[in-house]
Amino acid sequence: MLRKGLILVSILLLAVSTLFAAGGAESRDGSADTFYTSRDTLEVIVSWSAGGGTDTIARLMAPYLSKHIEGEPGVQIINVAGGGGIQGHNEFALRRRPDGTNMLFSAGSSQIAYLLNEPGIRFDFRDMQPAFGVPAGAVIYSNPQAGVSSVDDLLNPSEPIRFGSIGVASTDAIVLLAFDVLGLDVQTIFGYEGSGAIRVAFEQGEVNINRDGTIGYLGNVLPLVEDGLAVPLFTFGQVRDGQVVRDPAFPDIPTIAEVHERLHGVPPSGDTWEMFKAISSALFTLEKVMWFQKDAPAEAVQAVKDAGVKISADPEFRSHAQSIFGPYELIVGDEIESAVHDMLSALSVEVRNEFIQFLVDNYGLSPRSAEAQQ
């Protein structure tokens, strides 16, 4: 009986492994003149679970990518969630082959984790090359019933200014820096579950100043503004050639630079301001970036870059994108190279260490160094 069983097992093993060998033998046909063919599948790693903001934008772009990349490969979104977004980035950097079939879609929250050198990070954006980027905006608004009804109240509020945050090692960190730039006295309450929960706390008056991204603002806060329950104070603007300009989504709301001038009579300047601009461009001007590994084939990168330019001009995409990430232009072509280059060079180890020190000193970030990568 034992012998029979062993024979059985070995037959099975053989059968199954042949099946698999046959399946694995299917390979890419590289003979066509385009790098990709319609039989290829480009996998885009999204490091958060399905349904989140980054995932939604990736899924919006996928069919357009497929349509505009020469050779029309399939484009599939792969969610590798975990570790607050770090896991998917690590997987992309360490385990995915740089053969042009793997891309990574990073976002503000993983970019800040990289900046702050959060534990567990095994990737480096300097070892990647960008294909295109998606900008975003941020609006700071206040609750007029809880002490702050206009920019002018910021320095002398009738109630303490309270800001709700999910944690210091998140994109909220730049809001804390913004408050420092403006010289505001703000009590920060850490530990909220997410931006939705903070908005509820804002409506309740538990906190009275809040930050939202463009889409969250348009969908959830604008109705409150119309009812007089919220007042927009300022935006972070967009960093263009070292200058902060008004956010195209909110041409009527002043930028942080304008508010500084109004409160203190002079435009902002100095180290903290330069730090703010560098970080702001990393988190908002380039809020999401589509990456290849450094060693990915140049033809592949070029094909996706070209697709970025075409997508950006596709009227169907533009009307669709309007409702999902607002009236921003994709950052494509050579612009993305220089934008990423500027961002990474502005974020020198010194600047990052300075930023970390600011958060350690004021907001209880656990001490670490930006340099101790890997």
Residues interacting with another protein, by CB under 8 A?
4-5, 8-9, 12-13, 16-17, 19-20, 49-53, 55-56, 59-60, 63, 79-84, 86-87, 90, 118-120, 162, 167-169, 189-197, 199-201, 203-204, 206-207, 215-216, 218-220, 223-224, 320, 323-324, 364-366
Smallest separation (angstroms) from another protein to the CB of 283: 17
Taking the complex as a whole, the smallest distance from the CB of residue 357 to another protein amounts, in Å, to 15
Q: Smallest distance from the beta carbon of 89 to another protein, in angstroms?
A: 10
Is 29 or 193 the residue whose CB approaches another protein more closely? Answer: 193
Q: Tell me the C-alpha to C-alpha distance, in Å, between residue 84 and each of 48, 117, 189, 216, 235.
A: 8, 13, 20, 20, 26
Burial of 42 (0-12, 13-18, 19+ CB in 10 A): buried
Q: Smallest distance from the beta carbon of 17 to another protein, in angstroms?
A: 7
Residue closer to another protein by CB (options 18, 345) is 18
Q: Is the alpha carbon torsion for 120, 94, 58, 343 positive or negative?
A: positive
Is the CB of 21 or the CB of 266 nearer to another protein? 21
Radius of gyration of the chain (CA): 24
Dihedral class, residue 110 (left if φ above 0, else alpha if ψ from -120 to 50, else beta): alpha
Distance CA 47, CA 110 (A): 9
Residue whose C-alpha is closest to residue 118's, from 168, 49, 52:
168
Which is nearer to another protein, 80 or 290 (by Cβ)? 80
- Residue nearer to another protein on the CB measure, 47 or 281: 47
Smallest gap, in angstroms, from Cβ of residue 254 to another protein?
Answer: 24
Q: Report the 10 Å Cβ neighbour count for 20.
A: 10
Minimum CB–partner distance for residue 155 and another protein (Å): 22
- Of residues 277 and 352, the one with the C-beta less far from another protein: 352
- 229 versus 346: smaller Cβ distance to another protein: 229
Rounded to a whole number of angstroms, the minimum distance from the CB of residue 191 to another protein is: 4
Contact assessment for residue 49 and residue 84, using Cβ atoms and an 8 Å cutoff: no
Residues 6+ apart with CB under 8 A from 325: 57, 134, 136, 214, 215
